[in-house]
Chain A
Amino acid sequence: MHESICDFLLDIIQNAIEARSSVITIIVEDTSDSFTCKVIDNGKGMSESELERIRDPFYTDGVKHTKRKVGLGIPFLEQAVSMSDGDSSIESVKGEGTTITFSFPFDHIDTPPIGNIPSTFFAAMTYPGDFEMHIHYAISRDSGADGYELHRNELIDILGDLSMSQSLILLRDFIRSQDEDLEELRKNR
């Protein structure tokens, strides 16, 4: 279910992982006016005809989820963006990767709530698989600007296997500690 912007972001990240990407870069910019996410992957990419079809509800390549037929991520995102007068774009080259960008303005009544940012980054980092993930999060307000970066392989190097519960607890605490200082800034919209 998509209830927040973070839900859309996590969906797009999951698509990137399932497209067999080896490097995924996530750029999140939280400004006074808007919340913008960009997910760049180097996965299998899409042809022009596939790009047209991903906007069809229930279209899926049939590979990702063999036992269930979904395919609502992009249609839901585009619907939400359109309802709130935001922007979205999808660029993809077959065999090279995909870049999805979407942005929601804060002054529109239909803009979904942001959601829980550290939990979203934690979930993205802990998807199983062998891939590098770079997360860049920047927040800017009239009162100041701050942000942080997370690099998956760097964290795996320190914490070891991210499927171990001890590693997960430390990763969660680490991401929370990066985010906590930004809470005051985030509130001052």
Chain B
Amino acid sequence: MAKMTLEALRALREEKKSALNKRDVEGKTAQIVVGMGTCGIAAGAKGALDGFLAAIDEYKLDNVAVTQTGCMGLCYVEPTVEVIVEGMPNVIYGKVDAEVAKKIVKDHVMHKQMVSEHVFDRPAADIFNGGGK
């Protein structure tokens, strides 16, 4: 490795700062939680995560947080992703790849329209809050 200059260090810092900002949930109106359990990773969750990050960069969204979690218990439809958007019910999408990730960002996060063919479940928290109905 060649000697890193202070300018290169500064650029790297800015790059990392932007990546960290995407993980910060504070003050964001939408949150995308990617299931990165072993089952999710084996099914390609890393591709989905990269797809979300790329789409957020492409559409220049600064109000969306992307975080990771473990297995959501829906291993049969991995990779799974929970999408939490203000004014919409929390939704778990299944079989999400980079292409679906982009569609979720565009339709669900930006235009508040669910991507019906990939909706698999609502989070357990909703079920408990609703008394199991």
Which positions in A face B, CB cutoff 8 Å? 148, 154-155, 158-160, 166-167, 170, 173-174, 176-178, 180-181
Q: Are A166 and B16 in contact (CB under 8 A)?
A: yes
- Nearest 6 pairs between A and B by C-beta? A177-B4, A158-B10, A177-B1, A174-B9, A174-B4, A180-B1
**How large, as a class, is the contact surface on chain B?**
10 to 19
Q: Are B9 and A159 in contact (CB under 8 A)?
A: yes
Complex interface: chain A residues within 8 A of B13 (CB) = 158-160, 167, 170
Q: How far is the CA of A170 from the CA of B2 in the complex (A)?
A: 15
Query: Interface SS of chain B: helix, strand, loop or mixed?
Result: helix
Complex interface: chain B residues within 8 A of A176 (CB) = 1
Complex interface: chain B residues within 8 A of A166 (CB) = 16, 20
Q: Are A170 and B9 in contact (CB under 8 A)?
A: yes
Complex interface: chain A residues within 8 A of B4 (CB) = 173-174, 177-178
Listed by A's residue number, 15 A-B pairs whose Cβ atoms lie within 8 Å are A154-B6, A158-B6, A158-B9, A158-B10, A159-B9, A159-B13, A160-B13, A170-B9, A174-B4, A174-B9, A177-B4, A178-B4, A180-B1, A180-B3, A181-B2
B127 interface residue, CB < 8 Å from A? no
